[in-house]
């Protein structure tokens, strides 16, 4: 599996989020035919030494229409083939619709994994799990303020996010793909109990860096012998610099996070 190999090779759990906003990239790049693509090209080249995964937030590309989809595909092609890729698309719909979403991101785009919303249940998730060598990251316990609206609602003693984890593992048992979970870094106090519920699953953990998550707390509670964590950082790395040396600044920030992991 790509993640295990990358973890063993680089001693890293870093995932770089390519949430590229054309309004935030250095102004000099606007002279290029495709400013977003040039920005991504330089970020990837500068950080690949430390990253075991790249997460493309599809919303930042989809909003640009056809040009955005082309840029997303070209960005994906720039990522070294041995590095794991995530489509942060948060899809999830009735079975036949999810089947088309799965085709989009696993066949047409050839991402290694995708984020999926579990609210509509098993038939909305299983089409994504049917692909060999692909992964699904289900939203479990997120870091946004609105997470309290539903994720903490209790059925008996267990909050909804725990039901999502325990129930979904039954779906994965009958499917080909692997199943992981999105758990916000600002919820580090709960990562330990989540790890007990899914001891071998990979957890995609956004919220380190700009959102203020505690890296060491996440590592202490969630790291496994084979890695088990993808520590995502987006803004704190890709926007570390504003000038022509932005890629060098991004590399320095990625290296700093890698060193802090101390693996």
Give the pLDDT of residue 174: 66
Give the pLDDT of residue 86: 98
Residue 212 pLDDT grade (very low, low, confident, very high; cuts 50, 70, 90): low
C-alpha–C-alpha distance, residues 221 and 215, integer Å: 10
Give the pLDDT of residue 56: 98
Residue 157 has a CB neighbour count (10 Å cut-off) of 6
Whether this model's pTM surpasses 0.85: yes
Query: Which residues lie closer than 8 Å to 105 by C-beta, 6 or more apart?
Result: 87, 89, 91, 111, 114
Residue 151 pLDDT grade (very low, low, confident, very high; cuts 50, 70, 90): confident
pLDDT tens-digit profile of 53-88?
999 999 999 999 999 999 999 999 999 999 999 999
Inter-residue contact 207 to 144 (CB < 8 Å): no
Going by the DSSP 8-state scheme, the letter that residue 176 receives in this structure is S
The encoded tokens of residue 110 equal 């050839």
CA 41 to centroid of chain Cα atoms: 19
pLDDT at 173 over 60: yes
The encoded tokens of residue 116 equal 């999926």
The encoded tokens of residue 17 equal 């989020």
The pLDDT > 90 percentage for the chain reads: 80
Extended strands (E) in 3-95:
14-17, 51-57, 84-91
- Active-site residues, by number, are 90
Residue 49 pLDDT grade (very low, low, confident, very high; cuts 50, 70, 90): very high
Give the pLDDT of residue 210: 56
C-alpha–C-alpha distance, residues 127 and 102, integer Å: 7
Over range 226-237, report the average pLDDT.
Answer: 95
From residue 142, alpha-carbon distances to 60, 128, 204, 205 in Å are: 20, 21, 10, 9
pLDDT tens-digit profile of 88-137?
999 999 989 999 999 999 999 999 999 999 999 999 999 999 998 899 99
Which DSSP string corresponds to 112-130? SEEEE--TT-HHHHHHHHT
Q: Classify domain 2-261 at the CATH class level.
A: alpha beta
């Amino acid at each position: 599996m790509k993640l295990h190999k990358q973890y063993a090779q680089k001693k890293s759990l870093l995932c770089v989020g390519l949430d590229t906003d054309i309004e935030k990239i250095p102004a000099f790049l606007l002279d290029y035919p495709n400013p977003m693509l040039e920005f991504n090209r330089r970020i990837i080249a500068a950080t690949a030494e430390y990253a075991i995964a790249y997460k493309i937030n599809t919303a930042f590309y989809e909003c640009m229409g056809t040009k955005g989809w082309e840029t997303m595909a070209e960005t994906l092609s720039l990522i070294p083939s041995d590095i794991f890729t995530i489509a942060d698309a948060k899809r999830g719909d009735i079975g036949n619709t999810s089947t088309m979403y799965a085709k989009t991101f696993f066949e047409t785009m050839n991402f290694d994994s995708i984020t999926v919303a579990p609210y509509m249940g098993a038939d909305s998730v299983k089409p994504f799990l049917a692909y060999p060598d692909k992964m699904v990251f289900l939203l479990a316990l997120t870091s946004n303020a609105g997470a309290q609206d539903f994720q903490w609602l209790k059925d008996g003693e267990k909050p909804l996010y725990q039901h999502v984890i325990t129930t979904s593992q039954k779906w994965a048992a009958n499917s080909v793909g692997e199943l992981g979970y999105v758990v916000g870094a600002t919820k580090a106090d709960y990562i330990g109990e989540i790890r007990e519920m899914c001891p071998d699953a990979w957890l995609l953990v956004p919220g380190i860096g700009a959102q203020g998550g505690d890296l060491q707390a996440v590592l202490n509670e969630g790291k496994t012998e084979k890695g088990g964590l993808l520590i995502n950082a987006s803004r704190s790395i890709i926007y570390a610099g504003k000038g022509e040396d932005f890629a060098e600044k991004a590399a320095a920030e990625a290296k700093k996070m890698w060193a802090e992991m101390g693996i």
